[in-house]
């Protein structure tokens, strides 16, 4: 049986697995990315783990390629533009390095593009050929699928909706600009909104005892569950900001569904209801009621792994993997 080695490089951990053509995740290993401080040590550890994973194959399994998803991954040239939270900040030619080290063809894509493919082949978007995946975690990632293919853009950087402006002259963003969607709709955005509301209002809240650097989105969610009105208002505002942007996105690419994934989606209806309501309100009449907002149904650890494998299969077999 043919399998691909799938690798999901992340700032905290890097996951590896063998994945078959039916997108079964056969075996998973994890590397602690934070243990490595430079490119060489990280890739050296990665190669060792890849070899171990390849050796642990069952009889009859045959590795036919490698699929990699990574933040800052550029599918067009197989490089990673080192992100702030990776052990390298310079551009690394990952595909070239891998193909020098191993005999398998290697395919690399951005983590959010991989996650979109994962939803398309094994998640909430199975059977759809036009959809958008948005991951809500520390940041906000996005993969847009049109006619069964992820939109890469001219230089492989499409889908950076987290860095479109939500509020003119708004919050400072890691990218050096102000008011990006990601500074409002993300785990840290939730915390910033909570402190903004505490500053503006005199309303009681469970969150008033927590210092800024200790507050987490989960605490805000837990407070919301305990009927803390300020915490609930935080999710309402976050949902509205997301909904405004989703309306723009629907007006531009008109997907069948928008799949939300990532840690923040644990908030469920606290986030999705105001987002869906605001999105519908903000749409042209002819576009209303045509795009569903859905939650991912893949395991958090598996979505990008499956998607990176799907990207490899797509290239190995030269087929579109997302189809209606």
Assess contact for 182 and 149: CB atoms under 8 A. Answer: no
How many other CB atoms sit within 10 Å of the CB of residue 67?
Answer: 30
Site for its own copies in 178-197 (CB under 8 A): none
What's the closest the beta carbon of residue 284 comes to its own copies, in angstroms? 5
**How many CA within 13 A on the CB side of residue 196?**
15
What's the closest the beta carbon of residue 93 comes to its own copies, in angstroms? 17
Site for its own copies in 106-145 (CB under 8 A): 130, 144
Count Cβ atoms within 10 A of the Cβ of residue 231 and give its class: 0-12 exposed, 13-18 middle, 19 or more buried.
buried
What's the closest the beta carbon of residue 315 comes to its own copies, in angstroms? 14
Residue 133 to residue 113: CA distance in whole angstroms? 8
What's the closest the beta carbon of residue 310 comes to its own copies, in angstroms? 17
Residues 6+ apart with CB under 8 A from 93: 77, 78, 79
Q: Is 247 in the site for its own copies (CB under 8 A)?
A: yes
Supply 133's token pair: 């995946």
Residue 45 to residue 193: CA distance in whole angstroms? 39
Site for its own copies in 255-274 (CB under 8 A): 255-256
Binding segment for its own copies (CB under 8 A), chosen from 6-14, 189-197, 244-252, 310-318, is: 244-252
- Is the CB of 60 or the CB of 176 nearer to its own copies? 176
Residue 30 to residue 53: CA distance in whole angstroms? 11
- Is the CB of 37 or the CB of 324 nearer to its own copies? 324
Closest Cα partner for 68 from 318, 314, 311?
Answer: 311
Q: Is 295 in the site for its own copies (CB under 8 A)?
A: no
Residue 10 to residue 111: CA distance in whole angstroms? 8
Binding segment for its own copies (CB under 8 A), chosen from 115-123, 171-179, 185-193, 293-301, is: 171-179
Q: Is 153 in the site for its own copies (CB under 8 A)?
A: yes
265-292 as b/e: b if 16+ CB within 10 A? bebeebbbebbbebbbebbeeeeeeebe
Q: Is 252 in the site for its own copies (CB under 8 A)?
A: yes
Supply 268's token pair: 């469920």
* Full strand arrangement of the beta sheet holding 257-261: 149-150, 140-146, 131-136, 257-261, 292-295
Q: In the set 158, 219, 300, 316, which binds its own copies (CB under 8 A)?
A: 158
Q: In the set 22, 55, 62, 176, which binds its own copies (CB under 8 A)?
A: 176
List the x/- string, 62-91, binding to its own copies by CB under 8 A: -------------------x----------
Binding segment for its own copies (CB under 8 A), chosen from 96-104, 147-155, 221-229, 270-278, is: 147-155
- Is the CB of 128 or the CB of 223 nearer to its own copies? 128
Q: Is 287 in the site for its own copies (CB under 8 A)?
A: yes
Binding segment for its own copies (CB under 8 A), chosen from 35-43, 133-141, 195-203, 246-254, is: 246-254
- Is the CB of 124 or the CB of 247 nearer to its own copies? 247
Strand 2-8, strand 13-20: pairing = antiparallel
What's the closest the beta carbon of residue 237 comes to its own copies, in angstroms? 15
How many other CB atoms sit within 10 Å of the CB of residue 85?
Answer: 16
Closest Cα partner for 291 from 246, 318, 255, 263?
Answer: 255
Tell me the site size for its own copies, rule CB under 8 A.
40
Which residue ranges make up the site for its own copies (CB under 8 A)? 81, 130, 144, 146-147, 149, 151-161, 163-165, 175-177, 244, 247-249, 251-256, 282, 284-287, 290-291
């Amino acid at each position: 049986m043919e399998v691909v080695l799938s690798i999901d490089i992340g700032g905290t951990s890097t996951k590896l697995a063998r994945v078959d053509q039916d997108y079964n995740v056969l075996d998973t290993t994890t590397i602690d990315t934070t243990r490595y401080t430079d490119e060489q040590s990280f890739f050296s550890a990665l190669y060792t783990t890849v070899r171990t994973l390849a050796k642990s194959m069952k009889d009859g399994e045959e590795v036919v390629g490698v699929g990699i998803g990574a933040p800052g991954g550029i599918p067009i040239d197989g490089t990673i533009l080192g992100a702030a939270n990776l052990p390298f900040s310079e551009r690394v030619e990952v595909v070239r390095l891998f193909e020098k080290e191993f005999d398998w063809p290697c395919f690399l894509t951005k983590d959010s593009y991989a996650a979109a493919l994962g939803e398309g082949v094994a998640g909430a978007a199975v059977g759809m050929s036009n959809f958008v995946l948005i991951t809500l975690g520390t940041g906000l990632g996005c993969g847009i699928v049109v006619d069964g293919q992820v939109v890469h853009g001219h230089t492989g950087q499409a889908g950076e909706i987290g860095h479109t402006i939500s509020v003119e002259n708004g919050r400072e963003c890691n990218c050096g600009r102000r008011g990006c969607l990601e500074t409002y709709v993300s785990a840290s955005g939730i915390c910033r909104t909570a402190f903004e509301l505490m500053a503006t209002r005199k309303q009681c809240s469970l969150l008033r005892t927590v210092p800024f650097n200790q507050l987490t989105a989960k605490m805000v969610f837990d407070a919301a569950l305990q009927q803390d009105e300020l915490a609930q208002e935080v999710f309402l505002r976050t949902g509205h900001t997301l909904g405004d942007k989703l309306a723009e996105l629907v007006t531009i690419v008109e997907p069948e569904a928008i799949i939300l994934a990532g840690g923040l989606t644990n908030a469920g209806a606290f986030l999705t209801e105001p987002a869906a309501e605001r999105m519908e309100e903000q749409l042209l009449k002819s576009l209303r009621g045509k795009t569903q907002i859905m939650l991912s149904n893949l395991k958090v650890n598996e979505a990008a792994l499956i998607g990176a494998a799907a990207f490899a299969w797509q290239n190995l077999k030269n087929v579109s993997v997302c189809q209606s």
